[in-house]
Amino acid sequence: MTAGIGFPLFLVFAWCAIGVFFGFFVSERRIPALLAWTGSLASGAALWAAVASLIGNGEFHRDLWTVRSIGTVTISLDHISAFFLLLAALVVLASSIFSASYLRRYVGHYSLCAFNCWYQILLASIVWILIEDDVLGFLVAWELMSISSYLLVNFEHRREGTKQAGYLMLATGEAGFLAVSVALLFLASRVGSLEFSGFRGSSVEIGRMAHWSVFLLTFFGFSVKAGLAPVNSWLPRAHPAAPANVSAILSGTILNLGIYGIVRVNLNLVPVRTAAEGSILLIIGAISALLGILYATTESDLKALLAHSSIENIGIVTLGLGAGIIFTAYGRPVLAGMAFIAAFYHMMNHSLYKSLLFLGAGAIDECAGTRDLDRLGGLIRVMPYTASVFLVGALAISGLPPFNGFVSEWLTLQTLLRSAELPSTVMRLVFVLCGAALALTAALAVTCFVKAFAMGFLGTSRSKKRPAKDASRAEVVPMALLGALCLLLGVLPTYVVPMLNRTLALIIDREATAALVPPFFSGSPAHGELPAAFVADFHNLGAQVGQFLPGRGLVLLHRGGTENPVVFAMSPSYACVALGVFLVLIWIVVRRTTARRTAVRRELWAGGIPRLLPEMTYTATGFSNPVRVVFQAIFRPGSMGDTRQTVAVHFRTAIHRQRRNIYPADSLFFYPLGDAVIWLARQFAGMHHGRLNAYVGYSLGFLLIVLILFRVS
C-alpha cells in the first residue's frame, strides 16, 4: 500500500512541474487548456493517493533526506491528511476543468503564463502541506501556499481594490504564520525533535502553561487562514478580487488547511483535553457562524455573499470540533466521536457546495458582466444549465433535504442537544446558547440563499446588459459533478459516516459508528443488544434492506440505552424518494388545473401596466433590508454614506448611497490600533526639526538608557 501511495504523490508534483515548464513556451491562448489538463491530472493523482490511503489500513511514511544539525525531512500520509487531500483534489479537479473555458476572458489583458505558474505552485504546496511530517518543511510549504495564493488573488491587479485586498490577505496571513512558527519551534525545542511524530505524547512533558501557550498561538495562527472571527476581515475582501476558479480553491481548500492545522496540532500531536479549551472553539465557532451568515444575508455582491457564508460554515465546523473536545473532557467518547464526525462531514460538504457556488458566480459574472444581485435577474431564461446547478448548491448550503448540507447540520445540532448529559450546569448553558446561535444561523442561511437564487435567476432582469447564452460545457460539467456529489452525500450518509469514523481514529478513543450508524438489522453483531419491539418497528420501515447492501442501511440514527433506544433518527434516502413523488404529484395537479385557463397578467399596484419595468422590481437590497434593520442596532454590521451630485444650488441630480461593512475586529481592535500607531508616528515626526544639538541629545539619551539596562541586567 505504501508503494501504491508514493507513486501518485510523485505524479502530483511531476504534473505540476510539467505545467509550469510548458507554460513558458506555449502561447497565451493555449495556457487555459494546458492548465486544465495538467491541473486535472495532478489533482487526479492526488485523488488516487487519498483514496488509496483511506481504503487501506496502513499509512505512508518516507524519509527524504537528512540535513546535518537540523534533522530528517520526512513525508507521511495518514487518514487525517488523506481526508483533507481528498477534498482538495476534488475541488482543484473541478476548478481546473472550469479554467479551460473561464481563463479565456483574460487573454490579452493579464499574463496567463504567470497565472498558470502560481496555480501549479499552489496545488503543489497544498499537497506538500498535507504530507509534510516535520516542522521546517511544513512551515516552508505553508509560506509557499500563502505567497502563491496571494499572487493569484492579486492577479487582476489593475482593478480597483484588488491590491488592497491582496495585501490585507498577505499581512494577516503572515501574522498567523508567525504565531504558528513560534508555537511549533517552541514545541520542537522542548521535545528535541523537528518531526511531528516526536510531538505525540509530549503534552505532559511541556507543562500546563506551555501547553496553553501552544494552543492559543496555533489556534490564532490557523484561525487566520480558516477565516474565523475575529480575524476574518480579509476573507470577504479577497474573494471578490480573485478569479472565480481561485475563489473556489480558497474557500473549498485553503480554509480547510486552517482547520487541518487546528486538528493536526491540537487534536493529534498535542491534544487538548480540558473543557476550557473546547469552550473557546465552541464559542468562537458559534460567533463566526452567526456573524458570517448575518453579513452574507445583507450583502448584494454575489462573491462577497459567498465569502461571508464561508465564514459561517467554517464556524459550524469549529463549533463541532469544540463540542467534541468538551465531550472528551467529560468522559463521553462516543458523543465526542459524533461531534467530530459531524464537523468533518460539514467541512466536506462545504468544500463541495461552496466550490460549486463560486464557479457558478464566475459563470454569471462572465456571461452577465456583473455579480451585483441588485442588477441581475431573469437569468434562468438564458442560463438554464447554470441556474440548475446553482440551485443545487443553494439548496445544499441552505441545509435542505435531500442534499448534504442538511445531514451535517442536523447531526451537529443533534449532537449539541446531547449536552444534557454533561454534569456542569455552566457548560450546558454554553451549549444551549451555541445551539440557539446555530439554529438562527440555519434560518438566516435559507433567507440568504433564497435571495441569492431568486434575485439572480428569477424575475425580471434589472441590468441593461443581458447574457446572450449559457456558460460553456467546460464550465457547467464540473459544477454538475460537484452537484451530483452534494446529492450523493445527502442521501447516503450511512456510507459516509463509517469512512469518517476510520479517518478520525487518530483523535477519538472509541468508535462512534456503532451508536450512530444503526446495528438494528440482523447481520450486525450488535443486533442482539436491542429490544425486540424496537427491531420489529424499524423492520417495517425498511431498515432490513441494510442486510443486502454493502453499507449499513439507509436510516441514520443515534442508538441510546434500553429505555430510550432511539435518541434521534433520519433517513435522507427515503426522504429523497418521498420528495420526488410529492413534487411529481404537485406538477401533475398544477398542469391539469391550469391547462385550460388563459392567463391575463396585470400588475394592479403598478397602474395595470402589462409588464413591470426593471426599476420597479424587488431588489436584493430590499429583500434583505428587514434583516439589516433588525441586526443593525445589535451588531452594527455596516455604515451608510450618501454622496450628493448637483449641477446647481437648487437642482440635485442624484444621491448615491454607499454601504461599507465594518467588522467587529476592525472596529474594536484594528482601527484603534491603527489610530494609535499613527498618533505615535506623528509624535516621532515632531522630533525631526533639523536642530543638530537635539539630535546629539537623542543619541546620548539613547546610549544612557542602554547602559542603564545593561547595568541592571
Each residue's pLDDT tens digit, 351-384: 999 999 999 999 998 888 888 888 888 888 888 9
Contact 60, 77 (CB under 8 A): yes
Contacts of 85 (CB under 8 A, 6+ apart): 46, 49, 50, 53, 77, 127, 130, 131
Task: Write phi, then psi, for 648 (nearest 5 degrees).
Answer: -155, 175
d(CA 280, CA 275): 9
Contacts of 597 (CB under 8 A, 6+ apart): none
What would the grid cell of residue 24 be?
513558458
Estimate to the nearest angstrom the gap between the alpha carbon of 459 and the chain centroid.
30
Cis ω on the peptide bond leading into residue 402 (within 30° of 0)?
yes
> 447564452: which residue's cell?
469
Biggest CA-to-CA distance, the chain: 100
Q: Which of 84-98, 639-653, 669-683 has the lowest mean pLDDT?
A: 639-653
What would the grid cell of residue 150 be?
496571494
Overall average pLDDT of the 296-321 stretch = 92
Q: Which of 97-101, 400-404, 424-428, 541-545 has the lowest mean pLDDT?
A: 541-545
Q: What stretch of H or E contains 295?
A: helix 275-297
Contact 43, 248 (CB under 8 A): no
Q: What stretch of H or E contains 442?
A: helix 425-457
What would the grid cell of residue 366 be?
462572465
d(CA 498, CA 621): 43
Q: Dump strand ranges (E) for 217-311.
A: none
In the predicted structure, residue 4 carries a pLDDT above the cut 80: no
**Reported confidence tier of residue 579, pLDDT bands at 50, 70, 90:** confident
Beta bridge pairs of residue 658:
641
Alpha helices in 492-643 (DSSP H): 493-503, 513-516, 532-540, 572-594, 620-635
What would the grid cell of residue 56 be?
487501506
d(CA 443, CA 490): 19
d(CA 145, CA 127): 10
Contact 311, 228 (CB under 8 A): yes
Contact 449, 370 (CB under 8 A): no
Overall average pLDDT of the 553-571 stretch = 69
**Reported confidence tier of residue 649, pLDDT bands at 50, 70, 90:** low
Contact 243, 155 (CB under 8 A): yes
Q: Helix 333-368 to helix 79-102 angle, to the nearest 10 degrees?
A: 10
Contact 42, 16 (CB under 8 A): yes
**Reported confidence tier of residue 550, pLDDT bands at 50, 70, 90:** very low
Q: What stretch of H or E contains 640?
A: strand 638-646
**pLDDT tens digit sequence for 72-121:** 678 888 899 999 999 999 999 999 999 999 999 888 888 899 999 999 99
Specify the amino acid at residue 372. D
Q: What is the pTM of this model?
A: 0.88
> 434589472: which residue's cell?
462
Contacts of 488 (CB under 8 A, 6+ apart): 404
Overall average pLDDT of the 38-49 stretch = 93
Comparing CA positions, the residue from 122, 163, 157 lying closest to residue 143 is 122
**More confident call, 634 vs 62:** 62
